Amino acid sequence: MAPGGCQEKSDILQQIIQVIFFLVAPYLILKLTKVSKKTSLLSPILLCYLTGIIIGNLSFIPIDKDLAMTLCELAVPLAIPLILYSTDLKKWVQLAKKTSISFLLVVISAITSAVLAAIIFSPYTEEFWQLSGMLVGVYTGGTPNLMAVGVGLKVSEETLVLINTADVVTGGLYFLFLISVARWLWGKILPPFKKEEGAVQAEAQAAAAGENPAPVRFFGLAGLFLLSVAIVGISAGISLLITGKLEISILMLIITTLGIAASFNKKIRSTPGTYETGHYLILVFSLAIGVNADIAKLFSSSSVVFLYTVFTLVVAVLLHVLLAKVFQIDTDTTIITSTAGIFGPAFIVPVAEGIKNREVIVSGLTCGLAGYAIGNYLGFAVAWLLRALL
């Protein structure tokens, strides 16, 4: 056999092994975070980033970074519909008035804070409009929105890793605050929780929060995965038809819209495991994007991105509490809607347990899923507006 043929077979085998690694490693990392209470405090997303960064910067490990980037480009578009399938927008509309108002205040606070951050930090970074767009996405929805907006705005791999790392660090501190002293501190200025008439009462589905998922029916889930593939294909076709090219920002918005449309089908919405599958693809993305991060560039530009993220989160939280005081939103509702916006559904149950109020779980889950639905629209809108005005 010719040497060239042997080399080609070796390269193909190496790529297959790499793909298997990217698909299996997030599972092992998830298992690691469930080993004990100490490791459960670690973010799987952060661990995936760190693992990818370490492997990608070790010269003796052969990594095809182009292949890793291809996985990045596939993972997020496929994840968005899967995450959105479990959204129940009709239920969100039916939530108690104060819950809806409080979540709206979360959105207003996040947008205002991100705009202020852009005004203050624009002299220090050319990516201010992209950073604000991503932070609006993550603080009204969750990490998948940050990924989608970042990919859509063509943010560099280094910046994506930086802003996610900064979000994990600051978000981790805020999470500890929420489950410890937030109820006591905010209770000094906000009214206590009271069960409202007309509030939606339903059994809290732990699967939507990413905890103890219901047994997945393989074929139903496989069918919805194929539907996600079809949605990505249709979205790509529409983007090509409208713009003549594959415009990533338009692609993401169309994918979001079609994912929401699919969620109105009760059978799709009630299929267990879609959220977890979408979140798993985000972990694959995190691992692959970490491989492409250059440590030297990370350390040379980290301070501005970190300060940008801290400022946006702190101002958004303080502004939300201030507005909650004006609108007389109770303490527990303020806490759970803040959790829904800034963290998404995955943290609703732990925070509800932390404040010892399970009655807010359903409203929190519903707001968090609705946040996934609107986060991409808001993130892109704010980014484009800031780019045009500043």
pLDDT at 382: 97
Q: What angle do CA 116, 122, 124 make, to 5 degrees?
A: 130
CB 31 within 8 A of CB 292: no
CB 132 within 8 A of CB 114: yes
Crossing angle of helices 44-56 and 3-33, rounded to 10°:
150
Structure-token match 């692959």, residue found? 288
pLDDT at 73: 80
Reduced to 3 states (helix: H, G, I; strand: E, B; else coil), residue 40 is helix
pLDDT at 198: 45
CA distance 181 to 170: 16
Tally of CB atoms within 10 A around 297: 15
CA distance 365 to 345: 5
Under 8 Å CB-to-CB from 174, ≥6 apart: which residues?
A: 313, 317, 342
pLDDT at 243: 82
Start-to-end Cα distance in the chain: 61
Structure-token match 């070790």, residue found? 58
| Domain boundary assignment for the chain | 88-193+205-275+292-389
Does pTM surpass 0.85?
no
pLDDT at 113: 97
User: Which residue, 292, 257, 206, is CA-closest to 380?
Assistant: 257
Q: Which positions of the chain have pLDDT values less than 50?
A: 197-216
Tally of CB atoms within 10 A around 20: 10
Q: Is the dihedral of CA 325, 327, 328, 331 positive or negative?
A: negative
pLDDT at 190: 94
User: Could you report the per-residue pLDDT of 46-90, keeping only the tens digit for each?
Assistant: 788 888 888 887 877 777 878 888 888 888 889 888 888 887 777
pLDDT at 189: 94
